[in-house]
């Protein structure tokens, strides 16, 4: 095979002289990426400490370390938040990282989901006889990827953040080494995740070709200053990126993986996937579509996002009703929640973004709490997840049944819980944009999905034993070994309960924060 190689570039010796080419090293403000740094360093330090200490550390140590690291990351956002509120948003690291209220808020949400999932994981690992700090290490590193993704100001950084987030979660999903279904979930999640990343990447490449930049601020200014005569390339890029994000946030029709993966993965990991990974995915979606392409290309992408939202709402709530496995049911209900959040994206307004952020915060508490209860009911083997296994829970564990009831009612949107306000704000935001049909669909599906939550509640409180005739007065006996509640899991449920109720009763502070958490794309500091 003979290939004509174009003439090679001559290497001029003086070009290699360091003094001849002054390197314009950008100013690096480490404090601006402090939350992500705290998570990364915390994860790697945990790995180092555990490898250096000779005897195995107690299992509470890993969980405490993880919770402390995530809390420190939340604390690190506070001074940055002040700085953004005082001085406005800025972009750091040669313009590849955006420091704004939006990224800081999503950072907080991701860290909350890490705290809740780590607390659930502690008892879970002991119950399942699994060892290893690697679960916590991967969770912390994955969260750092989510934080990077939420604050990305450049498509390269966004993609790398997404990969850091996803690759760690592929491993986490497959990590229950003795449950084959966990490994199946890991493989399914991996194949579809890598597939969707490739779609996203193809879209990014086309967008780069059409606009000449991977920098979000660069793309925004380019589109504001130029009118593309032929925008086929950019539209194809947008479509492929939407497919990629659609897979990540499990929006219909890109949701096929979610029920299988949520069901098969270790339940605390399902909680993290449903809360943290979804928050990061939506952060990327909001940043790219609403903030970057919102001003110029809203008319083009808005119908696509609205279609995804409607499909997710309808399919998610209808499919959830016919499930008999509670984990699958929660997976489908999380798809319908994704539909609600997509409505906030489709509104493409500041109110819509604030509503989506508020929804993400509330949803994190609700879904982590729900999966927390499911973790406990699953008992040893993590396999008791059918609706039958919830019969008579109100007699065996009245407190747990009550807490689960609150989470389920919150998910269905009952007033005095955060779930109601979250749905209310999202619907308000799309009504403001005049999208009444979408609002109607949202309210209709909220009613449909209320049935499914009631089904679980009825099973816990009222349903007779399996096989008994309807209307039997005799409450069901709770089957199987007793449910044990480890202290850490109890703490997680308590935190989630407080979060869910507090956001519903005193939403003021949170709504103020979400209102200030606007995304801005800036060039330079």
Partner 1 sequence: MRVEMFTFLLAGLICLGGALGVVLFRNTVHNALSLVATLFGVAVLFIAQEAYFLAAVQVIVYAGAIVILFLFVIMLLGVDRADQMGVDPIVGQRTAAVVFGVAILGLSLVALLSGPEVVTGTPATTAALSSDIPDVNQIGEALFTDYVFAFEITAVLLTIAVVGAVVLARRSDGPVIDEDEFDGTALDALALEEPSDVGDPDQDTADGADPGSGADETDPDDLEEASR
Partner 2 sequence: MLLNQFLLLAAILFSIGVYGVIVRRNGVLVLMSIELILNSVNINLIAFSTYHGLGGQVFALFVIAVAAAEVGVGLAIVLLIYRNRRSVDIDALDELKG
Look at residue 47 and give the partner it binds from partner 2, partner 1, none, a contact being a CB closer than 5 to 8 Å depending on partner kind: partner 1
CA–chain centroid gap for 116, Å, is 13
**CA-based end-to-end distance of the chain:** 52
Look at residue 44 and give the partner it binds from partner 1, partner 2, none, a contact being a CB closer than 5 to 8 Å depending on partner kind: partner 1
Considering the rule CB under 8 A, would residue 465 count as an interface residue with partner 1?
no
Residue closer to partner 2 by CB (options 165, 347) is: 165
H/E/C letters for each residue in 133-153?
Answer: CHHHHHHHHHHHHHHHHHCEC
Within 311-350, which residues bind partner 1 (CB under 8 A)?
319, 322-325
Find the shortest distance in angstroms from Cβ 388 to partner 1: 10
- Residue 45 tokens read as 């330090």
Look at residue 42 and give the partner it binds from partner 1, partner 2, none, a contact being a CB closer than 5 to 8 Å depending on partner kind: none
Find the shortest distance in angstroms from Cβ 216 to partner 1: 12
Q: What b/e readout covers 123-159, taking b as 16+ CB neighbours within 10 angstroms?
A: bbbebbebeebebbbbbbbbbbbbbbbbbbbbbebbb
**One residue of 79, 88, 212, 303 binding partner 1 per CB under 8 A:** 212
**One residue of 56, 79, 209, 295 binding partner 1 per CB under 8 A:** 209
x-marked contacts with partner 1 along 145-174 as a string, rule CB under 8 A: x--x-----x-xx--xx-xx--xx-xx--x
Closest by CA to 292, choosing from 301, 279, 281, is 301
Within 93-112, which residues bind partner 1 (CB under 8 A)?
93-97
97 — phi, psi (to 5°)? -125, 130
Look at residue 201 and give the partner it binds from partner 2, partner 1, none, a contact being a CB closer than 5 to 8 Å depending on partner kind: partner 2
Residue closer to partner 2 by CB (options 241, 510) is: 241
Closest by CA to 112, choosing from 383, 418, 339, 399, is 418
Look at residue 96 and give the partner it binds from partner 1, partner 2, none, a contact being a CB closer than 5 to 8 Å depending on partner kind: partner 1
Residue closer to partner 2 by CB (options 184, 516) is: 184
Contacts of 381 (CB under 8 A, 6+ apart): 128, 179
Q: How far apart are CA 71 and CA 80, in angstroms?
A: 15
Find the shortest distance in angstroms from Cβ 137 to partner 1: 6
Q: Measure the CA angle with vertex 335, ends 332 and 338; round to 5°.
A: 160
Within 401-460, which residues bind partner 1 (CB under 8 A)?
none
Of 57-65, 139-147, 281-289, 463-471: span binding partner 1 (CB under 8 A): 139-147
Find the shortest distance in angstroms from Cβ 492 to partner 1: 23
Find the shortest distance in angstroms from Cβ 264 to partner 2: 5
Q: How far apart are CA 60 and CA 58, in angstroms?
A: 6
Q: Measure the CA angle with vertex 213, ends 208 and 216; round to 5°.
A: 100
Q: How far apart are CA 357 and CA 346, in angstroms?
A: 13
Find the shortest distance in angstroms from Cβ 166 to partner 2: 9
Find the shortest distance in angstroms from Cβ 420 to partner 1: 30
**One residue of 213, 296, 349, 511 binding partner 1 per CB under 8 A:** 213
Residue closer to partner 2 by CB (options 274, 435) is: 274
Look at residue 52 and give the partner it binds from partner 2, partner 1, none, a contact being a CB closer than 5 to 8 Å depending on partner kind: none
Q: Indicate the angle between helix axes 487-505 and 350-378, nearest 10 degrees.
A: 150
Residue closer to partner 2 by CB (options 233, 307) is: 233
Q: How far apart are CA 513 and CA 525, in angstroms?
A: 23
Considering the rule CB under 8 A, would residue 396 count as an interface residue with partner 1?
no
Find the shortest distance in angstroms from Cβ 508 to partner 2: 42
Contacts of 423 (CB under 8 A, 6+ apart): 340, 359, 413, 442, 446
Look at residue 239 and give the partner it binds from partner 2, partner 1, none, a contact being a CB closer than 5 to 8 Å depending on partner kind: partner 1
Interface with partner 2 by CB under 8 A: which residues?
156, 159-160, 163, 167, 170-171, 174, 177, 180-181, 183-188, 190-191, 194-195, 197-199, 201-202, 204-206, 208-209, 212-214, 259-261, 263-264, 323-325, 328
Question: Residue 99, SS3?
Answer: strand
H/E/C letters for each residue in 115-135?
Answer: HHHHHHHHHHHHHCCCCCCHH
Contacts of 17 (CB under 8 A, 6+ apart): none
Find the shortest distance in angstroms from Cβ 73 to partner 1: 14
Count the neighbouring beta carbons within 10 Å of the beta carbon of residue 256.
Answer: 13
Q: Is the peptide bond before 253 cis (omega within 30 degrees of 0)?
A: yes
Considering the rule CB under 8 A, would residue 525 count as an interface residue with partner 1?
no
Considering the rule CB under 8 A, would residue 27 count as an interface residue with partner 1?
no
Residue closer to partner 1 by CB (options 318, 448) is: 318
Q: How far apart are CA 463 and CA 401, in angstroms?
A: 13
Find the shortest distance in angstroms from Cβ 63 to partner 1: 17
Contacts of 406 (CB under 8 A, 6+ apart): 417, 497, 500, 501
Residue closer to partner 2 by CB (options 323, 449) is: 323
Q: Which stretches of 322-397 are DSSP H helices?
A: 326-347, 350-378, 393-396
Residue closer to partner 2 by CB (options 287, 328) is: 328
Of 1-9, 342-350, 363-371, 455-463: span binding partner 1 (CB under 8 A): 1-9
Enumerate the β-bridge partners of residue 325. 386
Find the shortest distance in angstroms from Cβ 241 to partner 1: 13
CA–chain centroid gap for 306, Å, is 20
Of 58-66, 90-98, 297-305, 358-366: span binding partner 1 (CB under 8 A): 90-98
- Side-chain half-sphere of 14: how many Cα atoms within 13 Å? 1
């Amino acid at each position: 095979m003979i290939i004509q190689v174009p003439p090679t570039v001559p290497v001029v010796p003086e070009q290699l002289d360091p003094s001849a080419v002054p390197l314009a090293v950008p100013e690096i403000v480490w404090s601006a990426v402090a939350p992500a740094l705290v998570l990364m360093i915390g994860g790697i330090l945990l790995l180092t400490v555990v490898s250096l200490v000779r005897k195995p550390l107690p299992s509470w140590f890993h969980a405490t370390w993880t919770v402390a690291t995530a809390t420190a990351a939340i604390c690190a956002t506070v001074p940055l938040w002040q700085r953004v509120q005082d001085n406005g948003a800025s972009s750091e690291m040669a313009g590849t990282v955006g420091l704004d209220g939006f990224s800081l808020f999503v950072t907080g949400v991701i860290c909350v989901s890490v705290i809740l999932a780590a607390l659930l994981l502690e008892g879970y690992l002991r119950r399942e006889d699994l060892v290893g700090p690697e679960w916590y290490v991967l969770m912390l590193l994955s969260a750092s990827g989510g934080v990077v993704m939420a604050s990305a100001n450049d498509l390269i950084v966004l993609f790398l953040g997404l990969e850091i987030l996803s690759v760690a979660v592929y491993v986490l999903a497959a990590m229950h080494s003795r449950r084959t279904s966990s490994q199946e979930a890991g493989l399914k999640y991996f194949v579809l995740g890598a597939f969707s990343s490739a779609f996203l990447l193809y879209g990014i490449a086309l967008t780069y070709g059409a606009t000449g930049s991977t920098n979000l601020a660069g793309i925004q200014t380019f589109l504001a200053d130029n009118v593309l005569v032929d925008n086929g390339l950019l539209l194809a890029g947008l479509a492929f990126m939407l497919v990629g994000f659609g897979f990540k946030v499990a929006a219909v029709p890109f949701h096929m993986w979610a029920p299988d993966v949520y069901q098969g993965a270790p339940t605390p990991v399902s909680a993290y996937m449903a809360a943290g990974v979804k928050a990061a995915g939506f952060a990327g979606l909001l940043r790219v579509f609403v903030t970057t392409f919102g001003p110029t290309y809203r008319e083009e992408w808005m119908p696509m996002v609205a279609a995804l939202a409607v499909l997710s709402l309808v399919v998610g709530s209808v499919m959830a009703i016919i499930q008999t496995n509670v984990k699958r049911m929660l997976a489908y209900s999380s798809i319908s929640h994704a539909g609600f959040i997509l409505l906030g994206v489709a509104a493409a307004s500041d109110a819509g973004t604030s509503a989506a952020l508020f929804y993400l915060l509330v949803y994190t508490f609700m879904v982590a709490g729900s999966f927390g209860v499911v973790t406990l009911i699953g008992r040893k083997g993590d396999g008791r997840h059918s609706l039958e296994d919830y019969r008579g829970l109100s007699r065996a564990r009245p407190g747990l049944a009550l807490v689960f009831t609150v989470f389920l009612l919150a998910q269905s949107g009952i007033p005095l819980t955060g779930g109601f306000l979250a749905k209310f704000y999202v619907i308000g935001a799309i009504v403001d944009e005049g999208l009444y049909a979408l609002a109607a669909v949202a309210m209709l599906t909220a009613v449909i999905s209320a049935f499914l939550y009631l089904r679980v509640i009825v099973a816990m409180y009222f349903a007779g034993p399996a096989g008994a005739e309807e209307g039997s007065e005799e409450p069901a006996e709770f089957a199987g070994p007793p449910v044990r509640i480890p202290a850490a899991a109890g703490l997680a449920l308590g935190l989630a309960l407080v979060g869910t109720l507090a956001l519903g009763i005193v939403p003021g502070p949170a709504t103020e924060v979400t209102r200030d958490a606007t995304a801005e794309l800036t060039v330079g500091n």
